[in-house]
Amino acid sequence: MKQGHPMSRRFFLKSSLAAGTILPTVLGMLPHPVGGRALAQSEKGVGQGWLELAARRGEPTGKFGKIGDPVTLTVGYQPYCTPYWTSTVNKQAQLWAQYLPKGSRVLWFRSLSGPLIGNNMNAGSNQFGYMAETPALRAGDIVACDMVSVTGYDSGETGAIVVRRDLWDEKKVAAPVDLKGKPVGTPFGSYSHRQCLTWMEQNKIDLDLLDRSIELQMSQLKQGTLWASALWEPYPSWMEYRHLVKRWISGLEMPCTCTTTNKEATPHTFRVVGATLAVQDWIRERPDIIAAYLKSEEESRDLLTHAPDLAAYYIWSDIPEVPPPVIRSSLDMMVWDGRITAAIRTHLQGCARLWRAHGQLQHERSQNPDAYVDEWANGGFLDLAIGEMQQERRWTSATQPGFPKLMNDGQRQRHEWSRYADIQVRQVPWSPTRL
């Protein structure tokens, strides 16, 4: 099992801070893309439906070339966040290379959180960006971008409140009241922040909630200055693997934000919806690129759904310090469905209402949170991509159960990395699923 040595989490964090706003890394770990026959947008062009959707963002100016021209894209992604691992699979397996016009390049900007990606999109440095719905809503309030698909949604388990292992072993934290007034870290503006706010509201308890980066939380948990943290997978399982924390409360054990903020939402446990964002300039100018990229994302979801061991290999090849058992276990927590459905919209509206109430959404675009979601979350592009792939009898998200339904009853239970303690991830041939 031979691997190149990708950039470590600590190294790219330091480098990105030194570089300021952007640290693109050219995809090149794996020599050949995998998958089936390319749907060459450069040869087929795009249908009228794509052009009509793009025209909603204005008349094209030609600033990014004409339909079919090769492009260079910079994509902001978060390799240490399970709900957006469609991007990692797309990157490492080079699925995008089969769909974008011949001669195109993709540069990948690695980030530990969504705000930096949003900044790059605002500056024109990133054309696509990945983050949870919670920071994505804020990005759309600031940046001229749209949510063009869901990456996938979780079973409720990818977000967790973890407690220091010594406090757990000494039984100092056993009930919600035990954290009242205690220092708890989370990155403000993240979906973990939303989980904390939701948990505090539901338990009528105030935490000493502190804005802390992932790196700082891990350091302060070791030092004993934090009692608990709200984190996203694979961090909770990874830290439990290292005996630093106890995974205590996950979304499986609590209702979702929209239970109280949007009564029209279908009742479900606390959920996280990943978002693929595209800047409006590229939507207007190059609908062929939007089409091609979304189809590569659908193939990423196909691989994640039908070949999770192979997906774990690609993810591990990008973040090799995370143990394969942790990665593979985290994949069991997800439903890889890219559609922006009516149920997704009511969930997004519930999140937007909370964010507006807490001042995370402050601009004119989000003044009416419900109308904002309807205008910002544009599922029409993916619907067109799915329709064209279905004509070729390709697997698509349309075969998935649909938010908030789960793939199987096993997803209603906690997943443990120990189930995959002996897993050996490796690269094997991949062909897209045919129906």
Tens of pLDDT, residue by residue over 249-308, are: 999 999 999 999 999 999 999 999 999 999 999 999 999 999 999 999 999 999 999 999
Largest separation between any pair of C-alpha atoms in the chain: 65
| Residue 44, pLDDT score | 54
**Which neighbouring-strand residues pair with 157?**
none
Residue 184 · residue 226 · CB < 8 Å: yes
Instruction: Note the pTM of the prediction, 2 decimals.
Output: 0.90
- Evaluate if residue 34 carries a pLDDT over 80: no
Phi and psi (nearest 5°) for 54? -65, -35
Residue 1 has pLDDT above 60, yes or no: no
Task: Give all domains of the chain, ordered by start, each with its CATH number.
Answer: 9-153+271-420 (3.40.190.10), 159-261 (3.40.190.10)
- What pLDDT, on the 0 to 100 scale, is given for residue 115? 84
The helix or strand, by DSSP H or E, that contains position 198, with its residue range, turns out to be helix 191-203
CB-based contacts of 328, cutoff 8 Å, min separation 6: 308, 309, 312, 417, 420, 423, 425
Q: Which residue in 237, 90, 78 sits closest to 158, CA to CA? A: 237
Average pLDDT over residues 381-387: 98
Residue 17 has pLDDT above 70, yes or no: no
Task: Write down the pLDDT at residue 114.
Answer: 87
Q: What is the pLDDT of residues 90-121, one digit of tens each?
A: 999 999 999 999 999 999 999 988 888 999 99
